[in-house]
């Protein structure tokens, strides 16, 4: 099947080019000036801005579905909602849970892979824990945190058939820095977070291969002039990608600008850290084993009041970053596309509109709202 999107304003190689895009069997073949193919479906974009599909590598759910408790149909429900927000690929973030529930979540992910799909692609799994420190646990259930257990991690990855792509660990948990190469050999990219690690311990984790920082500045010991701590370590290092939740609650807009200035636009990854309340009104919800209350869109644990994820969507996060920074669309797009794809090792497949990659496209209106979403060349959402 061939499709030509004509008269588009396409984001390509950090700029915009006017022209056409040809996809065949869900893969981009040409971009620029494309001569019509007799057997191709023609879509006229009427000059609209068209960008690569957005990628969310840290989310716990949406529209009433919690990743830890989602069955296969629940995962598909999230996929279809995410497509309406411009997300074409995501990782299901499994909050620290029991071994049995974690394995169940992995099995439901595998069952989802066998369903017919019409929405964002669930690209794999992110384990947020269980090897985290109690002091900076955030919404993690403390009684389920554990010391490093590589046999357990190997069991999870074997059950997932290699699709656990990302894991969050705390560097100060005994043995974690030394185990990072093992995790990477299992096929997991490693992020550090939920941590009060000192600077040297965080640096050791980075030297051993940690490449991400989980929701930077949140559930993390903050920078002090005498004790730069984990936050100082991840801001300083040129290779580490820093996740950011840009909902105006987790980070002040000035902090967003500061992190971007420190890291550069190529080392910041916009995430939602959304929970099952995303896309729904205020009320009572779940995050893994936790009870959560959402008031004015702000999600907090019912017990203790700690912030518990967000109700953010990628489409809103894109608008927020534009507003907070005053930067151009072409400058901030990599935070939502290229950078997350590079971090989890899938940039050869997604994250840009270069030929050879999946035809994951998002069409925006003049206010940068999503009006159409395509996944592997198939239209999966259209604004009514």
pLDDT digits (tens, 9 = 90+) for 273-286: 999 999 999 999 99
Model confidence pLDDT, tens digit, residues 211-230: 999 999 999 999 999 999 99
What pLDDT, on a 0 to 100 scale, did the predictor assign at position 105?
98
Catalytic residue, chosen from 20, 38, 273, 303, is 273
Residue 299 tokens read as: 């999600």
What pLDDT, on a 0 to 100 scale, did the predictor assign at position 40?
86
3-state secondary structure of 161: coil
DSSP state of 67: G
What pLDDT, on a 0 to 100 scale, did the predictor assign at position 304?
84
The percentage of residues in the chain with a pLDDT greater than 70, rounded to a whole number, is 100
Annotation says 198 is catalytic? no
Distance CA 316, CA 85 (A): 8
**Torsion sign over Cα 111, 337, 308, 227:** positive
**φ, ψ (nearest 5 deg) of residue 241:** -90, 130
**In the block, residue with structure tokens 């974009």:** 45
What pLDDT, on a 0 to 100 scale, did the predictor assign at position 24?
95
State the average pLDDT for the chain.
96
Task: Give one DSSP letter per residue of 222-278, joined into a string.
Answer: PP-SS--HHHHHHHH-SS-EEEEE-SSSSS-HHHHHHHHHHH-TTSEEEE--B-TTT
Torsion of CA 64, 306, 241, 125, to 10 degrees: -40
Model confidence pLDDT, tens digit, residues 249-268: 999 999 999 999 999 999 99
pLDDT at 149 over 90: yes
Alpha-carbon Rg of the chain, whole angstroms? 20
Model confidence pLDDT, tens digit, residues 31-67: 998 876 778 889 999 999 999 999 999 999 999 999 9
Tell me the whole-structure pTM to 2 decimals.
Answer: 0.97
**Cβ-Cβ contacts under 8 Å for 335 (sequence gap 6 or more):** 244, 265, 268, 269, 270, 321
What pLDDT, on a 0 to 100 scale, did the predictor assign at position 34?
83
Residue 208 pLDDT level (bands cut at 50, 70, 90): very high
């Amino acid at each position: 099947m061939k499709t030509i999107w004509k008269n588009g304003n396409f984001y390509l190689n950090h700029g915009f080019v006017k022209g056409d895009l040809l996809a065949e069997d869900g893969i981009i073949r040409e971009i620029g000036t494309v001569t019509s193919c007799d057997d191709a479906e023609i879509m006229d974009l009427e000059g609209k801005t068209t960008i690569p599909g957005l990628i969310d590598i840290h989310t716990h759910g949406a529209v009433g579905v919690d990743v830890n408790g989602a069955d296969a149909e629940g995962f598909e429900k999230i996929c279809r909602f995410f497509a309406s927000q411009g997300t074409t690929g995501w990782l299901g973030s499994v909050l620290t849970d029991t071994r049995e529930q974690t394995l169940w979540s992995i099995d439901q992910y595998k069952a989802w892979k066998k369903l017919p799909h019409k929405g964002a692609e669930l690209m794999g799994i992110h384990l947020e824990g269980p090897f985290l420190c109690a002091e900076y646990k955030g919404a993690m259930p403390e009684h389920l945190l554990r010391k490093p257990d590589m046999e357990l991690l190997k069991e999870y990855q074997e059950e997932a058939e290699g699709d656990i792509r990302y894991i969050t660990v705390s560097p100060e948990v005994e043995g974690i820095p030394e185990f990072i190469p093992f995790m990477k050999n299992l096929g997991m990219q490693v992020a550090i977070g939920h941590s009060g690690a000192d600077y040297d311990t965080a640096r050791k984790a980075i030297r051993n291969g940690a490449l991400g920082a989980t929701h930077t500045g949140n559930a993390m010991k903050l920078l002090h002039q005498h004790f730069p701590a984990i936050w100082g370590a991840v801001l300083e290092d040129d290779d580490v990608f820093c996740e950011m939740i840009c909902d105006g609650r987790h980070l002040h807009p000035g902090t967003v600008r500061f992190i971007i200035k420190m890291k550069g636009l190529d080392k910041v990854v916009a995430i939602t850290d959304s929970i099952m309340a995303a896309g729904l009104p205020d009320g009572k919800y779940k995050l893994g084993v936790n009870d959560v209350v959402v008031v004015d869109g702000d999600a907090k644990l019912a017990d203790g009041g700690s912030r518990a994820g967000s109700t953010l969507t990628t489409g809103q996060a894109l608008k927020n970053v534009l507003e907070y920074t005053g930067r151009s669309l072409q400058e901030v797009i990599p935070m939502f596309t290229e950078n997350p794809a590079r971090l989890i090792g899938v940039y050869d497949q997604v994250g840009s509109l270069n030929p050879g990659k999946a035809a994951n496209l998002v069409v925006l209106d003049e206010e940068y709202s999503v009006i159409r979403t395509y996944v592997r060349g198939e239209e999966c959402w259209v604004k009514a």
